[in-house]
Structure 1
Amino acid sequence: MKLKNTLHLVIGSLIAATSMGALAQGQGAVEVDAFAKRYFTDSSRDLSEGNLFGGTIGYYLTDDVSLGLSYGEYHDIRSENDTGRKNIKGNLASLDATYHFGNLGDALRPFVSAGVAHQNISNVPARTGRDHSTFANLGAGVKYFFTENVFAKAGVDAAYNIDANETEWLAGVGFGVNFGGSSKPAPVVEPAPAVEPVAVAEPEQVIETVRVELDVKFDFDKANVKPESQADIKALADFMNQYPQTTTVVEGHTDARGTDAYNQKLSERRANAVREVLVNQYGVDASRVNAVGYGESRPVADNASDAGRAINRRVEAEVEAQIKQ
């Protein structure tokens, strides 16, 4: 009954999470999953191999580091002692820190983990009452993201029994989602900003309008700003810092592949990614930079070709300042 309640809670969380509009990876995200593991026991307690079923809820402290609390119940384990094949009941609760390799938005993210666990099982021969053991855990595995937030995982854990001075192993798979964080895509810019001086004559003076334009390109279904675009974004930021009266609107766009609703969200994430670089990395005041997304509604090239779609996956911005000569 406990296992059914645990699985119902995890599955319910997965369904509720996938219906939320604020699904996002990264710092502040909550992650839930259900897992099934094969349990390879030590020899001294004379236990057969068995299965562990349960779920995990975790919280991302940073974009790469999460802290997770897991609970699972054992099934199909029996004692292999001469007193007879007794059915073993029990559970395992663990607290683990996990480090994820790669970047937000990657389809594959390998990980390593470490933590502690408490095992509570019954009917172990030659022992009285329930058997309690404390474990130190080390693990490794990989997550595969079907979408930005829905994933499957596989991994192996080594569990060192501190009380018995022995090591046990678990290997398993899982399925889960994460939500509530803020994706931090890396910047992407291709064309360099262009400065276009326009002379405006006035009595006894000349006012020159100086304009800087930004056009940042993105990979398909990505909102990460590419490293090669940093110089172009910095040039726009330097211009705005030089003329503190200026403001700008960062506009995000997508190609036509995908649904309108998905592309709208993707264009907003792209615009916010460039805005974040301007504000957090290059010091432009946040009140001077707005971000909007237009989805696939404003193409500048033909979406029927790969080349045209690549041009449409963009973020644009423009800043003007008037200089008296």
Structure 2
Amino acid sequence: MKIEYKYREDTPFIIEFRPNDYQWNIIEETYGEKGQKLVGDLVKTNSSGTVQYIEKEFHHKSTELHVPDNVELIIEGTEVKMLVPDHVLFDFDQFALKEESKAILSEIGKTLGQFDKNMEVLIHGHTDNVGDSQYNLDLSKKRAEEVKNFLLEQSNLGNISFLTEGFGETKPIASNDDEAGQAKNRRVEIVINLR
């Protein structure tokens, strides 16, 4: 069962089931009009002792994220995005990782290792708009795959599912009219959804 909630630092997340909130006969028959048929460790009683209900409280432990200096970290609600410029990872027009980029990806791997091991991590490749669009799309896919393959080799990340996608030049984050904007658009994004 999925339950949507808004994360708030230092605020517990509470799930409650109160049979008397429902006017359905089957609920009343199964659990009692005032929850008197509820059993188990999660059963609570209201302050007057007349109504029983189920309550489970979860306490969040905040995870501090450490990323290398040349990696941009963007947190939007439950989505965490690490933007790694392509010049940090690859030589011009190549998809094989630079030797020096492996230390940066190892650091990112340590950060990913702090999270729940059964999560999905999205790896998105992006390029600027210089050159053939199909070539750029293929290059972005290969670069995303190369990052995924390196992260999969990290011993502490075996249970994480890595999904890759190449977008080529279709999702710029800056203008492609000058070199500074093109440089920002050439990137690999590592995306975690903490929901």
| TM-score, normalising length: structure 1 | 0.34
CA RMSD in angstroms comes to 2.8
Give the match for residue 46 of structure 2.
none
* Aligned-residue offset at 1:286: 7.4
The SS at the match of 1:199 is: coil
Give the match for residue 9 of structure 2.
199
Q: Which has the higher relative contact order, 1 or 2, with Cα contacts under 8 A spaced 6 or more apart?
A: 2
1:234 partnered with 2:106: yes
Q: Indicate the structure (1 or 2) with the bigger Cα radius of gyration.
A: 1
Q: 1:198 to 1:272 in 2, by over 3 A?
A: farther
1:256 partnered with 2:129: yes
1:284 partnered with 2:157: yes
1:221 partnered with 2:31: no
- Give structure 2 stretches of 5+ with no counterpart: 1-6, 15-56, 66-79
The SS at the match of 1:245 is: coil
Measure, in 1, the Cα distance between the counterparts of 2:173 and 2:120. 24
The SS at the match of 2:153 is: helix
* Aligned-residue offset at 1:260: 1.4
Measure, in 1, the Cα distance between the counterparts of 2:175 and 2:151. 30
Aligned residues: 126
Q: Between 235-244 and 254-263, report the one with greater CA deviation.
A: 235-244
Q: What is the identity percentage for the equivalent residue pairs of Structure 1 and Structure 2?
A: 30
1:295 partnered with 2:168: yes
* Aligned-residue offset at 1:244: 1.0
* Aligned-residue offset at 1:199: 1.1
The SS at the match of 1:299 is: coil
The SS at the match of 1:298 is: coil
| TM-score, normalising length: structure 2 | 0.54
The structure richer in strand per residue is 1
- Give structure 1 stretches of 5+ with no counterpart: 1-196
Q: Is the 8 A contact 2:127 2:169 kept in 1?
A: yes
Measure, in 1, the Cα distance between the counterparts of 2:83 and 2:155. 17
Measure, in 1, the Cα distance between the counterparts of 2:95 and 2:60. 39
Q: 1:273 to 1:253 in 2, by over 3 A?
A: same
What amino acid sits opposite 1:304 in the alignment?
D
Q: Is the 8 A contact 1:199 1:209 kept in 2?
A: yes
Describe how 1:115-194 pairs up with structure 2 within 5 A. Answer: none
Which string of whole-angstrom CA distances, capped at 9 and with x for unpartnered residues, describes residues 277-298 of structure 1? 1012555337611111001000
Measure, in 2, the Cα distance between the counterparts of 1:285 and 1:225. 20
Q: Is the 8 A contact 1:279 1:286 kept in 2?
A: no
Q: 1:268 to 1:309 in 2, by over 3 A?
A: same
* Aligned-residue offset at 1:205: 5.3
